[in-house]
């Protein structure tokens, strides 16, 4: 074959003994005496197998691979394949391109299959952490937790989160069928948590579709099908709320709890209408004793990683509750048994109090009760919304009405006095005068 001189029998020793060309930047070819078209190309510091032949009257030279990464036997096999392509009237360069493309595709498939939901979920939490509040972040952690760890409070072990069964799957396998099977299982035992998990997973899949590392693995939230949603059912509007005639029994039961911190927390929750987590996070530094106000971290104003707050009146009875609490640390509702030094929840204590009172409400139902009981006094809905941290429901409220603290106090103290009167609770003394209901 043209230009094929210096023929030798290719062995490992002979190839290893080949010296680089004398000319700087030059290259030498040592052709195989056993396989036509196969040669070892030697340059400064590198040796590689090449194949050379003719296609449509022109010389074709193709690099097979570096030595010793490519063995002599493998190089001879490739050379025979290239010659077979020439004999069949096909261009061997196209075969090489096809093989390289197939190798890239196989590598990409392997990479895709190696990406699990858990690994992408972990990246998602890291990327979005700065944009979320702590509660929202912890919700995502708990939804995917494996479970099986000793509970921090109480006996037993933690249970797997709703998304735990999906975490070990390849991200590419999150199809509509997969999600429908998951929903059929989770919808039986914990549909409410499963609906939250599905909403969070939907946002995660949209994020992954925009990420360079994952956009080739997922195609948005197409796995969240209507059938999967239907298997989890629809969330029903909550109706739990204290009635006016239930206030005496409820206050009496809560005041009888053996933990005064929890008792003060639950009463304050009803009297200011805040979200349970907002009040649990109250610090002593958030209380202005001079101007009788509380500054709470407002969930609605804390989107996108911002810590928004709202300031509300500290009514006389609430002030008497808070001033009586022990100052163990920075938290108003402290707990020496807690790792972070504050109450994490009061659900169990509330359940015990409700059992004594003969009623059934959750901590969030107390927030709902604040709104519904205010109807008895026909208080302005905007006042109740501003105190409780509800999103304004009209353009006028959203852009033009921001009531000052003293105006909020006028309505709030009247509401508190009425509620205490209904509950039969003694009213605190303020500046030597006992509060009374304003007619």
Spatial separation of the C-alpha atoms in residues 112 and 216, rounded to whole Å = 8
pLDDT in the model for residue 89: 83
More confident residue, 161 or 303: 161
pLDDT in the model for residue 405: 92
User: 312, 177, 332, 203: which is closest to 260 by C-alpha?
Assistant: 332
Q: How many CB atoms lie within 10 A of CB 292?
A: 17
Strand partners, 29: 41
pLDDT in the model for residue 434: 42
User: 127, 139, 130: which is closest to 211 by C-alpha?
Assistant: 127
| Residue corresponding to tokens 């639950």 | 266
> CA 429, 431, 432, 436 torsion: positive or negative?
negative
Spatial separation of the C-alpha atoms in residues 39 and 296, rounded to whole Å = 79
For residue 129, the 8-state DSSP code is: G
Joined tokens for residue 290: 């001079």
413 neighbors 435 (Cβ within 8 angstroms)? yes
pLDDT in the model for residue 363: 94
pLDDT tens-place string over residues 267-312: 999 999 999 999 999 999 999 999 999 999 887 655 544 567 889 9
pLDDT tens-place string over residues 233-273: 887 656 789 999 999 999 999 999 999 999 999 999 999 99
Joined tokens for residue 274: 């805040």
309 neighbors 274 (Cβ within 8 angstroms)? no
Please, what CATH class does the domain formed by 7-112 belong to? alpha beta
Joined tokens for residue 31: 């052709």
pLDDT (mean) for 340-368: 93
Could you state, in order of their start, the residue ranges of all structural domains in the chain?
Answer: 7-112, 117-232, 244-423
For residue 377, the 8-state DSSP code is: G
Containing H/E element for 89? none
pLDDT tens-place string over residues 164-211: 999 999 888 889 999 999 999 999 999 999 999 999 999 999 999 998
pLDDT in the model for residue 205: 94
Pairing of strands 309-313, 293-297: antiparallel
User: 62, 59, 67: which is closest to 96 by C-alpha?
Assistant: 62
Joined tokens for residue 340: 């972070």
Joined tokens for residue 268: 């304050």
Spatial separation of the C-alpha atoms in residues 144 and 165, rounded to whole Å = 8
DSSP string, 151-212: PSSSSSBPPPPTTHHHHTSBGGG--HHHHHHHHHHHHHH-HHHHHHHHHHHHHHHHHHHHST
Alpha helices in 338-399 (DSSP H): 347-357, 363-373, 381-388, 395-399
Joined tokens for residue 232: 């989890």
Produce one character per residue of 51-60: b if its CB has 16 or more CB atoms within 10 Å, e if not: bbbeeeeeeb
pLDDT in the model for residue 395: 53
Phi, psi of 403 (to 5 degrees): -75, 135
111 neighbors 170 (Cβ within 8 angstroms)? no
Containing H/E element for 436? none
pLDDT tens-place string over residues 371-427: 999 999 999 988 999 999 887 665 545 544 678 999 999 999 999 999 999 999 988
Its pTM stands at: 0.61
Spatial separation of the C-alpha atoms in residues 251 and 33, rounded to whole Å = 101
Spatial separation of the C-alpha atoms in residues 244 and 432, rounded to whole Å = 29
Joined tokens for residue 399: 């852009």
Joined tokens for residue 257: 């709890």
- Residue 112 pLDDT grade (very low, low, confident, very high; cuts 50, 70, 90): low
pLDDT in the model for residue 55: 85
Spatial separation of the C-alpha atoms in residues 38 and 50, rounded to whole Å = 6
Q: Do domains 7-112 and 244-423 have the same CATH topology?
A: no
41 neighbors 50 (Cβ within 8 angstroms)? yes
pLDDT tens-place string over residues 60-110: 888 888 988 889 999 999 999 888 888 888 888 888 888 777 777 776 666
For residue 300, the 8-state DSSP code is: T
CATH 1.25.40.10, domain 244-423, yes or no: no
Query: Could you give the C-alpha distances from 262 to 186, 256, 274, 294, 428, in angstroms and in order?
Result: 33, 11, 15, 18, 20
Mean pLDDT, rounded, of the chain = 86
| Residue corresponding to tokens 């194949």 | 51
Count CA within 13 A, CB hemisphere, residue 284. Answer: 11
């Amino acid at each position: 074959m043209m230009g094929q001189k210096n023929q030798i029998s290719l062995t490992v020793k002979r190839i290893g003994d080949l010296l680089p060309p004398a000319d700087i930047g030059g290259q030498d070819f040592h052709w195989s005496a056993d396989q036509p078209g196969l040669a070892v190309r030697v340059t400064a510091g590198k040796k590689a197998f090449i194949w050379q032949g003719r296609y449509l009257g022109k010389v074709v030279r193709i690099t097979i691979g570096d030595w010793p990464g490519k063995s002599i036997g493998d190089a001879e096999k490739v050379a025979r394949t290239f010659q077979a392509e020439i004999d069949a009237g096909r261009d061997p360069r196209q075969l090489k391109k096809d093989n390289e493309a197939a190798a890239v595709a196989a590598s990409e498939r392997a990479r895709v299959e190696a990406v699990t939901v858990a690994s992408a979920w972990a990246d998602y939490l890291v990327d979005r952490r700065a944009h979320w509040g702590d509660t929202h972040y912890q919700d995502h952690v708990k939804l995917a937790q494996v479970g099986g760890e000793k509970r921090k409070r109480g006996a037993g072990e933690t249970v797997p989160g709703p998304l735990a069964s999906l975490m070990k799957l390849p991200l590419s396998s999150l199809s509509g069928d997969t999600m429908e099977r998951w929903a059929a299982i989770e919808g039986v035992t914990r549909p409410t948590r499963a609906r939250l998990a599905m909403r969070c997973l939907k946002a995660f899949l949209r994020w992954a579709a925009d990420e360079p590392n994952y956009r080739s693995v997922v195609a948005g939230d197409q796995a969240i099908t209507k059938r999967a949603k239907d298997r989890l059912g629809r969330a029903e509007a909550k109706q739990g709320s204290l009635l006016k005639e239930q206030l005496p029994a409820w206050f009496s039961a809560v005041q009888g709890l053996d933990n005064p911190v929890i008792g003060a927390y639950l009463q304050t929750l009803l009297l200011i209408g805040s979200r349970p987590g907002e009040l649990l996070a109250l610090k002593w530094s958030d209380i202005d004793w001079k101007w009788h106000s509380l500054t709470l971290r407002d969930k609605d104003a804390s989107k996108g990683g911002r810590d928004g707050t709202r300031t509300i009146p500290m009514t006389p009875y609430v002030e008497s509750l808070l001033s009586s609490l022990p100052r163990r640390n920075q938290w108003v509702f402290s707990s020496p048994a807690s790792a972070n030094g504050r109450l994490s929840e009061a659900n169990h204590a509330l359940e015990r109090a409700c059992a004594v009172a003969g009623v059934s409400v959750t901590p969030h139902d107390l927030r709902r009760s604040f709104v519904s009981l205010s109807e008895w006094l026909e208080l302005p809905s905007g006042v109740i919304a501003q105190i409780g941290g509800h999103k304004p429901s009209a353009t006028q409220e959203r852009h033009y009405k921001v009531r000052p603290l003293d105006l909020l106090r006028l309505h709030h103290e009247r509401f508190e006095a009425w509620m205490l009167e209904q509950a039969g609770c003694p009213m605190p003394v303020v500046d030597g005068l006992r509060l009374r209901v304003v007619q």
